[in-house]
Amino acid sequence: MDNEAPVLIAGGGLTGLAAASFLARHGIRSIAVERLPQSSPLPRAAFFHMRTIEMFRELGIEARVREESAKEFVPDGALIAMDCIAGRKLADIISNLNEGVDEVSPCRRWFLNQPSLEPILRERARAAGAVVLQGAEITGITQAASGVTLRVRDIDGASERELRGQYLVAADGGHSKVRELLGIGYQGRGAFSKSLTIYFTADLSPWLGEKPWSIIYVNNPVLAGFFRMNRAGRVGFLGVNTLGDPKVDPVAASNAAVDVSEARMIELVRAGVGKPDLPVRIDGFSRWRATADVAAEFQRGRVFIIGDAAHLMPPNGGFGGNTGIHDAHNLAWKLAQVIHGHAHTRLLDSYASERRPVARFTVEQAFSRYVARTAPWLAATQATDPLAHDFDIEIGYLYGRDTVHADPRTTRGLPGSRIPHHWLERDGKRLSTLDLTGGWLLLAGPDGQSWCDAARQAARDFSALPLEALRLGADLRDPGSAFPATVGIEASGATLIRPDGFVAWRSEKSVKDPVAVMRAALGAALGWH
């Protein structure tokens, strides 16, 4: 096996495979090192947000994700709270997961079990040249001015080797070996529950039937947690966060994983369902800590921290896995631009400055939802942030602004925001503005030809930077003539979009020297000044 690649990745799970896929999309080969010899069969991280699906759309795997999701889950599901599945509804949290989504994205939210998604990502990465080395663990890291060396050992102890790369991406989870070797700790609230996930088989169809309930929170005198079941209502899991009454004994209540005997887990499933005689088969379990923490550093030299290695949050809202994928998407294009010689290495510093504030915001939002939905008793001792709209968290996060998030329906192409979704036509085909992204892109209004010419000329100054410049009315058709207003420009204006779909710069109208302006805009966006 070739022991060298431009980028090494610690971790070949969800986030590591996403990083390998995004890097391959930008023409960068990687080697991912994964300790597990095969994907975990446990159905984790099932809720994927529209921004994540937009990224999968860019990779060309959106249709496969949708097809796999339809096999397992009811689309457009709901989140509800009940005292138990067979009992009384306490609240409708979200009536339809995709309500309002079509207004802001070409993609919809989907549920998909991680064991179904990881093979899709692995196949996508390998097809583009990435190497995924499974059944190996990292034992050491050495950084030098020219690159990073990893010491890797097969988990069976059969062989050891060294891998060399220009950069290392640590996507090796909450117990990250890389972060440990670098001495980078977490900051935040710490753990507030020793939680337990029970994977089981039981026929809950008499109570679930055809009801579109994707997540069912349960709160009763025995436990507080949540169910997620498959489409047939016969296979799923119960996440248990607290036991008994936390107001009486908060320490004991928060230790839900104290007893993992089969008899006790069956008892908990029955208590969550509300049927003491329900036949239940336990398929597995996992202990985990409900935590709200962010790594103190997201970068150390040539090493970058992403995913759970960079941030830990409770599962409420499904933000953890999605945020990790967004980390990978943000970092991949920057590494590619530097490795290809288009950008200054300073561009890589923007990974931490952009993603760490977003991670802090998202972690706190997940914690606020945990308190509101599962542990309201914590509100007496821990202040929580006001709940932001889910759109703000999923696609409304901002880079380089005074605020970390905004309503994406109102940002209108503000620099630092994701380019708004707007339907256009190209060569008779309907497509979203987001379908045009993936590389450097200039979109100009109907009277903005000077911006297109200037962008192409300026791009040649940055090692022939690949850049596509498109003008409304010539290269693209805007059926409703609403594109300029959607992105905050006039007919003679233009907007410059980064490879990750975020707006780097815009000019509302034409200027006297567009070439000089474009050189400055690209130079700033690429880290040259």
200's tokens: 């089981």
Instruction: List, by residue number, the catalytic residues.
Output: 217
The dihedral through the CA atoms of 162, 165, 171, 176 has a sign that is positive
For residue 122, report the phi and psi dihedrals to the nearest 5 degrees: -65, -45
Residue 198: CB atoms within 10 A of its CB come to: 26
**Which regions of 296-445 does DSSP assign to beta strands (E)?**
299-300, 303-305, 311-312, 423-426, 429-432, 440-444
Contact by Cβ (8 Å): 314, 366: yes
Cβ-based burial of 228 (10 A; exposed 0-12, middle 13-18, buried ≥19): buried
**Which regions of 301-400 does DSSP assign to beta strands (E)?**
303-305, 311-312
Name, in order, each residue with C-beta under 8 angstroms of 10's C-beta and a sequence gap of 6 or more: 16, 32, 33, 138, 150, 168, 169, 170, 171, 172, 176, 177, 178
The dihedral through the CA atoms of 34, 35, 38, 44 has a sign that is negative
**Which regions of 179-332 does DSSP assign to beta strands (E)?**
186-201, 213-219, 223-229, 235-243, 281-295, 299-300, 303-305, 311-312
Residue 524: CB atoms within 10 A of its CB come to: 12
The residue written with tokens 């060298």 in the block is 4
For residue 425, report the phi and psi dihedrals to the nearest 5 degrees: -130, 140
CA pair distance 36, 16, nearest whole angstrom:
13
- Which is it for strands 136-143 and 148-154: parallel, antiparallel or unpaired? antiparallel
